[in-house]
Structure 1
């Protein structure tokens, strides 16, 4: 795996809806810009060798960094990939939709639910809206949220940006009824 860049962003929301958020709502995102292991190779039928080579190492790198950056117990999480224009969306999916990647964050957080994801192909500077859900119960509505992330000069055509996002709480000022209560 060739890494060009790693970015870390931590956001704190101190006010929402004109009211203070106490304690401030924290969200952290760590993104790695890597060479796409399949770019330029034409159509690759079997992605498994590249997955085995890259996904476990990438998960092991990003998971502890994002948990440490948050600086608080993780309550919600998500993952994302943006593939540069010389790749396929499937290349990003191959790296993030494997237990060899996601289990690093599940183990680091004590999570048991499916890790929500987004992936796309885009030019450098594209943003992703990373979905987050509660780490142990995906039906907890307050934790259904999204955070925006971007690496200004990535992905270049032969790169992939892979990111993990975590939050220390649900949405600031969440007040929707429990999921299914309106039925």
Structure 2
């Protein structure tokens, strides 16, 4: 399996076959191009993309408070590779990606910790950072829900999380997923910031505390 989890080449038949053998039922990829906001064209079109793997929940029939590690170590790296390959393909490689995020939605027969097990450990997060050439902690959303809902995935800069210009969200529709015994795992990325960022930056903000209220009230 190690040969499948290196590099940033396009998705391979072998990787997809491996994912299917591990319980992946569907792979969904979508993108949008944001060209204007507030009636003003963006300096350049901003492409935002999501990749979703719908996978059988391996813990559905386990006893309460069961250990999650074995399945996490086996599944999460493959899903990370599967999803990032698709983001790299849609966004033109790691150089075309500036912001990223992740999410997981577990079906109603599972528990919220099952969603976390597939995105909140190094077996997923470290690989997403490596493949997309990021260094930031990845912002996230997780939930338990019926099939065919939506989830709003937060994103921020892949190497400078404090860069406020890249705080954004991407709505992902989960068509026919997740079934009660499934988990939908999502990776998302953007080629740029919001169209017209102009609210400063956390690294250059002046010190602000509740003392500012005295000046506003006077």
Assess same fold via TM > 0.5.
yes
Out of 33-42 and 165-174, give the one that drifted further: 33-42
Instruction: Name structure 2 gaps, 5 residues minimum.
Output: 1-21, 208-218
Match of 1:64 in 2: 85
Residue ranges of structure 1 left out of the alignment (5+ in a row): none
Q: 1:46 aligns with which of 56, 67, 70?
A: 67
* Alpha-carbon contact 2:43-2:195 (below 8 Å) kept: no
- Aligned-residue CA RMSD (Å): 1.3
Q: CA deviation at 1:40?
A: 2.5
Rg (Cα) greater in structure? 2
Q: How far has the Cα of 1:44 moved from its partner?
A: 4.2
Q: Distance between the aligned counterparts of 1:51 and 1:124, measured in 2?
A: 23
Q: Per residue, is there more strand in 1 or in 2? A: 1
Higher helix share: 2
After the TM superposition, which segments of 4 or more aligned residues of structure 1 sit over 6 Å from their partners?
Answer: none
- Bigger relative contact order, structure 1 or 2, given CA contacts below 8 A and separation 6+? 1
CA–CA distance in structure 1, aligned partners of residues 45 and 206 of structure 2: 30
Partner of 1:130: 153
TM norm structure 1: 0.95
189, 194, 197: which one aligns with 1:174? 197
After superposition, the C-alpha distances for 1:138-175 in whole angstroms (9 at most, x for unaligned) are 11000111111012110110000000000010111111
- TM-score, length-normalised on structure 2? 0.80
Match of 1:84 in 2: 107
